[in-house]
Amino acid sequence: MFRDLFQAGWRHTVGSDFMRRRLINLGAEEAYLSQIPMGIDLAAFPYWEKNREAGTPLRMLSVGRLDEMKGHCHLIQAVTELREEGLDIILRIVGEGYLRGDLMAQIIQSESNDHIQLLGALTSVEVSKEMESAHLFALTGVVASTGRVETQGVVFAEAQASGLPVIGSSIGGVSESLIDGETGRLCPPGDVAAIKEAIRFFERNRELIPEFGRRGRSFVEKYFSIDGMLDAFEYLYQKQITSC
């Protein structure tokens, strides 16, 4: 199947170096691969400087399908434990999926439903508003039992464009979608203790939240804008036309 796919067309594009290497391992010729990350409309995710006032809860946001690969159960566990340890924190989760019932049961069992909310599916405009009011974004995915893994994670670009520091897992293409220690933090997949420490970092260093946010916006403008993506595709087509 892959051999037929790789022989079709004159060029194959991938959104991350992780995906590029995976396709090469499957038999794709490196010379026919071009890395062009999926870009976002920066105007749809305007930048908001995040300043958390003293005495207010840390407002966290997560956006993603409610399935195994997104790893919401680990984030919920981390937030629950942090609340038990005295951290004033709220988590709002956007998305729908087959694990909604399991995640809701986890939230209720831990008596966390007053500060962890499942919002369901929202429009992109509504997601942007959620990003405007949050202080921190997290999507702590894992490699699914089927082998599926995040190959880029466009939502990380959307969150950083909005000025949010981001927390993600060091798997797949996620490590390329943020700068660890500059625009966010990376954690080993499924490591609740590491997720808690990443959240605590931003709790202890709340003055760094806007600094991370500014760097995140610049990072996305440079590498993940839809204009940059279209320019890259136009260059590929022009190059092919002139070589004919």
DSSP 39: P
Instruction: Report the alpha-carbon distance of residue 232 to residue 73 in Å, rounded.
Output: 37
Does residue 77 contact residue 138 with C-beta atoms inside 8 Å?
no
Q: What is the pLDDT of residue 216?
A: 99
Q: Please give the share of the chain, as a percent, with pLDDT higher than 70.
A: 99
Q: Tell me, what amino acid is at 100?
A: R
Percent with pLDDT over 90 in the chain: 88
Q: Are residues 67 and 28 in the same domain?
A: no
Q: State whether 203 and 236 are in the same domain.
A: no
Whole domain around residue 15: which residue ranges? Answer: 2-39+225-243
pLDDT for residue 1: 60
Q: In CATH, what number is assigned to the domain containing residue 190?
A: 3.40.50.2000
Q: If you average pLDDT over residues 195-216, what whole number do you get?
A: 97
- For residues 122 and 12, state if they share a domain: no
Residue 100's region, left for phi above 0, alpha for psi from -120 to 50, else beta, is: alpha
Whole-model pTM: value is 0.94
- Do 34 and 126 belong together in one domain? no
Same-domain pairing of 29 and 95: no
- pLDDT, one tens digit per residue, over 85-118 is 999 999 999 999 999 999 999 999 999 999 999 9
What is the pLDDT, as a whole number, of residue 2?
Answer: 67
* Mean pLDDT across 196-205: 97
Averaged pLDDT for residues 116-143: 98
- Judgement on whether residues 117 and 238 belong to the same structural domain of the protein: no
Residues 69 and 149 in one domain: yes
Q: How many domains does the chain have?
A: 2
More confident residue, 241 or 71: 71
Q: How confident is the model at residue 144 (pLDDT cuts 50, 70, 90)?
A: very high
